[in-house]
């Protein structure tokens, strides 16, 4: 399994993240996106309206390297942030459901950074998976 139990719980609580892709000329693009953690595949699945028509979808088809960040601000006093950055390979695919097929971007984690999720960890943690 790619994610720790604390990371999976955090991802299940959140609905919005930011997907960074690389364009054909090497230009970065970063977009807010809705997502779900797919426990069956250990991936992050991103859906969206007319997804195949978007720049991020085209970018992933041309360059599969992505970064995905989910974070939030727990409190200001004291300052407490938490989050996860997932770097890895993405693919465009079709997710078959009872309602039919849905185009998605599926992120396969390679490196996971997390902060503020595990009170015993202290600082940001990093690990390479898969």
Residue 83 is part of a domain; what is its CATH number?
2.30.110.10
Is residue 98 predicted with pLDDT exceeding 80?
Answer: no
Sign, Cα dihedral of 42, 124, 11, 32: negative
Q: Express each pLDDT in 7-66 by its tens digit.
A: 999 999 999 999 999 999 999 999 999 999 999 999 999 988 899 999 999 999 999 999
**Model pTM?**
0.92
pLDDT at residue number 44:
97
Domain that holds residue 43: 5-117
Domain annotation covers residue 128: no
Q: Which of 5, 7, 21 is nearest to 113 (CA)?
A: 7
Domain annotation covers residue 122: no
Is residue 90 predicted with pLDDT exceeding 80?
Answer: yes
What is the secondary structure of the chain as a DSSP string? --S-HHHHHHHHH--EEEEEEE-TTS-EEEEEEEEEEETTTTEEEE--TTGGGSHHHHHHHH--EEEEEEEEEEETTTTEEEEEEEEEEEEEEEEEETTEEEEEEEEEEEEEEEESS-TTT-S-EEEE--
Domain annotation covers residue 86: yes
Q: How many domains does the chain have?
A: 1
- If one compares 82 and 123, the residue with the highest pLDDT of the two is 82
The half-sphere exposure of 114 on its side-chain side, counting CA atoms within 13 A, is 20
Domain annotation covers residue 125: no
Domain annotation covers residue 123: no
Domain annotation covers residue 129: no
């Amino acid at each position: 399994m790619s994610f720790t139990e604390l990371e999976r719980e955090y991802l299940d609580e959140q609905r919005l993240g930011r997907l960074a892709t690389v364009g054909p000329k090497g230009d970065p693009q970063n977009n807010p996106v809705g997502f779900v953690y797919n426990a069956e595949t250990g991936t992050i699945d991103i859906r969206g309206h007319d997804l195949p028509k978007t720049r991020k979808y085209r970018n992933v088809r041309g360059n599969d390297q992505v970064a995905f960040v989910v974070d939030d601000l727990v409190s200001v006093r004291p300052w407490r942030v938490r989050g996860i950055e997932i770097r890895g390979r993405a693919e465009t695919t079709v997710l078959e459901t009872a309602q039919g097929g849905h185009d998605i971007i599926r992120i396969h984690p390679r490196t996971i950074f997390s902060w503020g999720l595990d009170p015993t960890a202290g600082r940001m943690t990093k690990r390479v998976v898969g």
